[in-house]
Amino acid sequence: MFNWFKTAMLMAAITALFGVVGASMGGQQGMLLALGFALVANFFAYWFSDRMVLRMYNAREVDASSAPEFYAMVRSLAARAELPMPRVYLIDEQAPNAFATGRNPAHAAVAATTGILRVLSARELRGVMAHELAHVKHRDILISTITATMAGAISALANFALFFGGRGDGRSSNPIAAILVAILAPLAGALIQMAISRAREFEADRAGAEISGDPRALAAALDKIHRYAQGIPLETAERHPETAQMMIMNPLSGGGLRGLFSTHPSTEERIRRLMAMAGASG
């Protein structure tokens, strides 16, 4: 329920932001155009943001025929988690990573890179996919996917500002537009930081370990993904850093504005908690 509330507040805030920027750039006409754009963006973000993200990563859907072992693994874990079977996707990227998306458990999808299938053992991969299904079970996926889409829409708002900023009295630019463009990228990062709690990864680790029954395997997977991810960039995430918060591991190289989009807690602390969980369970 709280994630639904956060999603509604996020959509309302984005709509208000678009209206203010539109009014400052183009008066009443600009405000109406911006509000119209915001309403369309909200509609598409709710109903189609998962497809947009999957298309962004060139994810291809697989089934029991095209990826039998991986598909069977997800199906087994979904049954253990008492979840409907999600759609399953593979992403042709060397960087090891995975994410879940969708608007609810009945319309969910999980995606993994081909790189993660290569570098992890079956036990470790099972832990990772259990983590992603925990996000589905906790309904983190709606706010996560919509936040990524809306942060991208803020970039479109910068173009909107420039469009109106170059019109009117013959000047090539509007100082207000220049200021807005300068702050919109940090604003997109701040939006993600506010909407996405770092605690959700700890909780998904805990629940994922319970679903898989193997916290040590998930801890080993996180350690291995962390080490590989440092040397292998995930190109799509670098181009669209607003989607990085969806991944099991932060895929961004860091530095500059990319640091604003970091929402993951430290890998060391995640591993420590999982190993403590394994010790407590004997």
pTM here is 0.78
The pLDDT score that the predictor gives to residue 163 is: 58
The pLDDT score that the predictor gives to residue 7 is: 63
Q: Flag whether pLDDT at 167 surpasses 60.
A: no
* Percentage, residues of the chain above pLDDT 90: 46
Q: Flag whether pLDDT at 182 surpasses 60.
A: no
Q: Flag whether pLDDT at 239 surpasses 80.
A: yes
Q: What is the pLDDT of residues 96-131, one digit of tens each?
A: 999 999 989 999 999 999 999 999 999 999 999 999
Using pLDDT thresholds of 50, 70 and 90, give the confidence band for residue 19.
confident
User: Strand 60-62 vs strand 87-91: parallel, antiparallel, or unpaired?
Assistant: antiparallel
Catalytic site positions = 132
Q: Flag whether pLDDT at 204 surpasses 90.
A: yes
Q: Flag whether pLDDT at 168 surpasses 50.
A: no
What residues does each domain of the chain span?
2-280
Average pLDDT over residues 17-22: 69
Q: Which range (33-42, 43-52, 59-68, 174-183) has the least confidence?
A: 174-183
